[in-house]
């Protein structure tokens, strides 16, 4: 009995120490990487130099206003309504594309706010689609996820497009 209590105490101390170390590594006040390292901003759009994707700076429902930012309210839409926003090359991002914008679990919102300003702090789940399954990414906690409950009735959407298709190398 004494041995199991000792083992339990050691495990508890280890858990506290490791969780404290993880917490110490999270600094929500640490600034996001400089926007110019990754993005080229052109008014209402942002070119991601890493992925080659062009993103709308504002969420669906908002409009870009020069020298002001994103104005209006973020639309909370179901998946079908989010898909209805697609057009002129703009589409819902694939899950991996949307996750590529996450900049850390301890930031809220977990996105570069210079490139993507004026996110609604109450609407941080965003739709993604892999061609088969609708998914969501949580920019509040910085976590990708699947959402199958009532809160998924109304999420935000941010549209993306690829300006230039990346050609495959010629086959030998």
Predicted TM-score of the model (pTM): 0.75
The pair of three-digit structure tokens given for residue 137, joined into one six-digit string: 């990414």
Quote the CA–CA distance of 139 and 123 in Å, as a whole number.
9
In the 8-state DSSP scheme, what is residue 64? E
Domain residue spans of the chain? 35-162
pLDDT, one tens digit per residue, over 28-66 is: 677 777 888 999 999 999 999 999 999 999 999 999 999
- Mean pLDDT of residues grouped by 10 in the chain (172 residues)? 43 35 55 85 96 97 97 94 95 94 81 93 90 86 62 85 60 48
3-state secondary structure string across 74-130 = CCCECHHHHHHCCECCEECCCHHHHHCCCCCCCCCCCCCCCCCCCCCCCCCEEEEEC
pLDDT of the residue at 19: 33
pLDDT of the residue at 88: 94
pLDDT of the residue at 11: 38
Q: What is the mean pLDDT of the chain?
A: 79
pLDDT of the residue at 15: 35
């Amino acid at each position: 009995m004494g041995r199991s209590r000792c083992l339990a105490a050691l495990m508890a101390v280890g858990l506290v120490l490791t969780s404290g170390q993880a917490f110490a590594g999270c600094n929500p006040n640490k600034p996001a990487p400089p926007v110019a390292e990754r993005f080229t901003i052109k008014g209402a759009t942002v070119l991601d130099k890493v992925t080659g994707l062009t993103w709308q700076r504002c969420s669906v429902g908002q409009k870009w206003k020069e020298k002001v930012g994103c104005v209006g309210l973020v639309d909370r839409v179901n998946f079908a309504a989010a898909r209805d926003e697609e057009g002129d090359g703009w589409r819902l991002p694939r899950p991996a594309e949307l996750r590529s914008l996450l900049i850390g679990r301890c930031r809220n919102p977990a996105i570069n706010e210079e490139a993507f300003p004026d996110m609604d702090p109450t609407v941080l789940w965003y739709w993604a689609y892999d061609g088969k399954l609708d998914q969501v990414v949580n920019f509040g906690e910085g976590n990708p996820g699947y959402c199958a409950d009532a809160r998924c009735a109304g999420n935000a959407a941010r549209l993306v497009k690829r300006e230039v298709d990346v050609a495959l190398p010629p086959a030998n």
